Amino acid sequence: MPKYHFEIVDVFRLEDPVGVDCTNDVQAKTVAQDIAKQIAIDVVSDSDSDRNVVVINDNGDEIYKTPIKT
């Protein structure tokens, strides 16, 4: 099963050194959307920040990016 890394990116990049096993790219995108929703709930709103969850596949390619909307 492929491993995907879910990194938080705004001004800085918070890398995901462990990653998560997902069946495919579609499942990885769903996981990224769930992470973004949870961060939006947990974090105080910062309207000036352009924050995203970025999905990196096993090859190190960025395959998806979803915004964290607070």
- What's the rounded mean pLDDT across residues 50-64? 95
What is the per-residue pLDDT for 4?
98
pLDDT, tens digit (0-9, with 9 covering 90-100), for 16-56: 999 999 999 999 999 999 999 999 888 766 555 689 999 99
User: Per-residue confidence at 69, pLDDT binned at 50, 70, 90?
Assistant: confident
Task: Read off the pTM.
Answer: 0.88
Of residues 44 and 62, more confidence is placed in: 62
* Of the candidates 15, 11, 22, 3, the residue with the CA atom closest to the CA atom of residue 54: 15
